[in-house]
Chain A
Amino acid sequence: MKEVDVFVDCQAQQVVIYAEKSDGSFCPVQTGSYMIKNHIADFYEIASNLNNSLIEKLRSGEISPIYYFMTIEELTISELAARVGISKSSVKKHLDLKGFQKISVSKLRRYANVLNIPMANLFQIINAKEDKSWNMGYREEANNSGSGLISQVKTDNPLIVETKIVQDPK
């Protein structure tokens, strides 16, 4: 691979590729991500389709919020169980609404901690532009139809998050 062939103009994500320089040496070249430059829209589309279909199921009560976030964050049942520190069979039970309603607050807190979301988000769908620092599974630009910007700020109380609408800087 020649140095000139690996160059991609994409500041959003940089990678290092080893390539042949003009003097024949194989050296590291810092360049842009081909995938982000050429296929980010495809990833957004895939993420958006998945998100929309899961939201519908969430609305109808077909799945629990645990199922939603587990799928969005590409975790398997066994991986989520190991991270939360409970059995796989418990996680399986928590994936539908019936089982979800029986989870203790302390266990929900453990789930929220692993999923890196405020616990309140296990009980609500925020259908607007979100503060991405809260929702790791959220794909920016994929479904930003609303004009409001929702900001969720931690409080000293571990069970409470302050959710506010702030003005969209755009």
Chain B
Amino acid sequence: MSIIPFRHVMAAHCESGTVTALVNHHGMNVSEPMVFGIASGIFFAYMKPPMMDFPIFVTRSMPGQIRKKFAQRTGVKFNTRKFRNPKEAEKELDRLLDQNQPVAVQVDLFYMDYFPSWFRVHINVHFINVIGREVNKYIISDSYHPQIAEIDRETLLKGRFAGGSMAPKGFMFYPVHIPERIDLEKTVKKGIKSATFNMLKIPLPFLGVRGIRRFADKIVEWPGYARDNDQLADKIFKIFILLEEQGTGGGGFRFIYASFLQEASKILNNPKLNDLSREIMEIGDGWREIALVASKIAKNRDFSKEKLMELGDLIRIRADLEESFFTNLRKEILNSK
């Protein structure tokens, strides 16, 4: 058995948590909110892809972008690899572990059987750190699991090579270079500027603040997509899960972003950012209220148009507040020296 000494901590989000744990293992001292903020992780999108039965919304950037943007902006270099052959992917993972290198891998969460059955859904963009191996098992540090976990060799391979949309294809990464000095002021500013652009300036009606408004407008149409009231209740319950508990740190990532801005305020010596961090925290509280209202609607099976419009109105208020918040944040960063 070989287990690499690795500090396992739960994190709000799997990708930012995995990246944070890996770079800290290699000597950095960075918090998860800093990784998330520097990488401009905060976002919003609402869409109904043709291959899906139901509309979806997301409150963060595309999977993989946190690692990519964090690396681009800080100068940290990750070695990344995808594989066609599962056996080759397994061999390379074993080789790296034998060199005491913890490795992040992309998996389908469904196969991570150390979680209870209610938690496991088919989602191909879960990230975990593999920190050791035994003959037929791997040792896993998963940001969503309170303790270090174990998984069968065969099951992990299945998770790494699940097909479908955003298939992992054995994707793995690990840091190979951590710069001695990082210009935090510059990276933090870049991260904020890019996040405000994404929320305000992308000229597509389903992204950023426009996406929040679309969500507000379209929620009344949800009953039309459902096969029955049970499915509708399930989907509306999932508004709570997607905002609060599926790796967001609460308030649809708004709380973790508040924590980032609090740190950014100190780095940039800018008290206005501290005020803005309080503002986004309050906006996150409103998202939490939306999550709770949604869970009540689902619990009571009250899918009347009035009730869904009420939910839509609460979402619309978030859009207005976020538009004002990100506009002020953008001004603050563009005007700073």
A17-B230 contact, Cβ under 8 Å, with A26-B259, A39-B299, A78-B51 = no
Question: Contact between A35 and B245 (Cβ–Cβ < 8 Å)?
Answer: yes
Give the shortest distance, in Å, between A91 (CB) and chain B (any CB). 12
Contact with A along B157-193 (1 / 0, CB 8 A): 0100011110100000000000000000000000000
A83-B118 contact, Cβ under 8 Å, with A17-B250, A28-B12 = no
Give the shortest distance, in Å, between B165 (CB) and chain A (any CB). 6
Question: Contact between B250 and A35 (Cβ–Cβ < 8 Å)?
Answer: no
Question: Contact between B230 and A49 (Cβ–Cβ < 8 Å)?
Answer: yes
Give the shortest distance, in Å, between B12 (CB) and chain A (any CB). 5
Partner of A79, one of B33, B51, B284: B51
Question: Contact between A75 and B11 (Cβ–Cβ < 8 Å)?
Answer: no
Chain B interface residue count, Cβ-Cβ cutoff 8 angstroms: 52
Give the shortest distance, in Å, between A38 (CB) and chain B (any CB). 8
Instruction: Give chain A interface residues in 40-91, CB to chain B under 8 Å.
Output: 40, 42-43, 46, 49-50, 73-76, 78-80, 82-85
Is the C-beta of A30 less than 8 angstroms from some C-beta in chain B? yes
Question: Contact between A42 and B298 (Cβ–Cβ < 8 Å)?
Answer: yes
Q: How far, in angstroms, from A27 to B250 measured CA to CA in the complex?
A: 12
A140-B117 contact, Cβ under 8 Å, with A26-B255, A30-B146, A113-B158 = yes
Chain A residues with CB under 8 A of B119: 13
Q: How far, in angstroms, from A35 to B288 measured CA to CA in the complex?
A: 12
Chain A residues with CB under 8 A of B305: none
Q: Which residue of B lies closest to A133 (CB)?
A: B113
Is the C-beta of B244 less than 8 angstroms from some C-beta in chain A? yes
A14-B146 contact, Cβ under 8 Å, with A28-B12, A43-B237 = yes
Question: Contact between A42 and B237 (Cβ–Cβ < 8 Å)?
Answer: yes
Contact with B along A1-31 (1 / 0, CB 8 A): 1000010000011111111100001111010
Instruction: Give chain B interface residues in 219-277, CB to chain A under 8 Å.
Output: 230-231, 233-234, 237, 240-241, 244-245, 249-251, 255-256, 258-259, 262, 277
Chain B residues with CB under 8 A of A98: none
Chain A residues with CB under 8 A of B237: 35, 39, 42-43
Question: Contact between A30 and B10 (Cβ–Cβ < 8 Å)?
Answer: yes
Q: How far, in angstroms, from A57 to B46 measured CA to CA in the complex?
A: 34
Q: How far, in angstroms, from A116 to B281 measured CA to CA in the complex?
A: 41
A83-B162 contact, Cβ under 8 Å, with A20-B281, A30-B10, A42-B237 = yes
Is the C-beta of B32 less than 8 angstroms from some C-beta in chain A? yes
Q: How far, in angstroms, from A56 to B122 measured CA to CA in the complex?
A: 25
Q: Which residue of B lies closest to A138 (CB)?
A: B117
Partner of A1, one of B11, B233, B284: B284
A6-B233 contact, Cβ under 8 Å, with A17-B12, A26-B258, A73-B110 = no
Is the C-beta of B53 less than 8 angstroms from some C-beta in chain A? yes
Is the C-beta of A103 less than 8 angstroms from some C-beta in chain B? no
Is the C-beta of A114 less than 8 angstroms from some C-beta in chain B? yes
Partner of B164, one of A25, A28, A82: A82
The 5 A-B residue pairs with the shortest CB-CB distance, nearest first, are A18-B255, A26-B259, A17-B250, A83-B163, A78-B51
A→B interface (CB under 8 Å): 1, 6, 12-20, 25-28, 30, 33-36, 38-40, 42-43, 46, 49-50, 73-76, 78-80, 82-85, 113-114, 116, 132-133, 136-140
With A34-B240, A39-B299 already in contact, 19 other A-B pairs whose C-beta atoms are closer than 8 Å: A1-B255, A15-B144, A15-B245, A17-B12, A18-B249, A28-B259, A34-B244, A34-B245, A35-B237, A42-B233, A46-B233, A46-B234, A73-B110, A76-B53, A79-B165, A114-B163, A133-B113, A136-B117, A139-B117
